Amino acid sequence: MKRILVLCTGNSCRSQLAEGYLRHFAKNKAEIYSAGVETHGVNPRAIATMQEDGIDISGHTSNNMEEYRDIDFDYVITVCDNAKERCPYFPGKALKFHYNFPDPAKATGSEEVIMEQFRLVRKQIKQYCSDFIQQHIS
């Protein structure tokens, strides 16, 4: 079974959304992990926006990439430039992929404006994850 690690800065938004969608699209064909170069806790708006799309990530935890050093990953996906720059060396055969998604946690304005930013990023991550699974796992 393939193992996929999604890395972000704080493992609170983008990597959590990606973990949720990768699990959804991969079904039982891959083990999905997410982590951050830091840990900031799972953002409640990330949970809410995924719930809107029928995916429950409320049980996810915010993990540090150091926790997964001993796992032999097949794929490492960085979802922000900061994580790509700070991504540690993972021994083994892991293929690295990168896409710099906007950080919805930095959105400002009314609650509706902020949630629209989360929905926009969710849509981008959903498409990326669907494509990734089709190309590399299915």
Which residues are catalytic, by number? 8, 80, 87
Amino acid at 6: V
For the chain, the 3-state helix, strand and coil shares in percent, each to the nearest 5, are 45, 15, 40
What does the alpha-carbon distance between residue 67 and residue 37 come to, in Å, rounded to a whole number? 11
Angle made by CA atoms 86, 2, 58, in degrees to the nearest 5: 70
C-alpha torsion sign, points 112, 118, 120, 126: negative
Q: Which two tokens stand for residue 127?
A: 């498409």
